[in-house]
Structure 1
Amino acid sequence: MSANGGEGVRLDKWLWAARFFKTRRLATEAIKGGKVEVDGQRAKPAREVHAGQTVHVTKGAYAFEVVVEGVSGQRGPASQAQALYTETAESVERREAIRQERRAAEAAIPRVDHRPDRRDRRELARFKRGRG
Structure 2
Amino acid sequence: MSEAVRLDKWLWSTRFFKTRSLAQQAIRGGKVEINGQKPKASRLVRVEDRLQIGRGELLFEVVVIGLAERRVSAEQARALYEETAESIERREAQLARKREAREAGAQAGRPDKRQRRALERLRSRNR
Common topology (TM > 0.5): yes
Aligned to 2:122: none
Q: Does 1:80 align with 2:76?
A: yes
Aligned to 1:70: 66
Using the TM superposition, give the Cα deviation of residue 111 of structure 1 relative to its aligned residue in structure 2, in angstroms: 5.7
Q: Distance in 1 between matches of 2:15 and 2:62?
A: 13
- 4+ residue segments displaced more than 3 Å: none
Give TM-score scaled by structure 1 length.
0.79
Using the TM superposition, give the Cα deviation of residue 82 of structure 1 relative to its aligned residue in structure 2, in angstroms: 0.8
Q: Does 1:31 align with 2:31?
A: no
Gaps of 5+ in 2: 117-127
Cα RMSD, aligned residues only? 1.8
Aligned to 1:92: 88
Using the TM superposition, give the Cα deviation of residue 101 of structure 1 relative to its aligned residue in structure 2, in angstroms: 0.4
Q: Distance in 2 between matches of 1:21 and 1:56?
A: 14
Matches within 5 A, 1:49-68: 49-68=45-64
Using the TM superposition, give the Cα deviation of residue 53 of structure 1 relative to its aligned residue in structure 2, in angstroms: 0.4
**Count of aligned residue pairs for this structure pair:** 111
What amino acid is the match of 1:62? L
> Which of the pair is proportionally richer in helix?
2
What amino acid is the match of 2:103? A
Aligned to 1:12: 8
Q: Distance in 2 between matches of 1:96 and 1:107?
A: 16
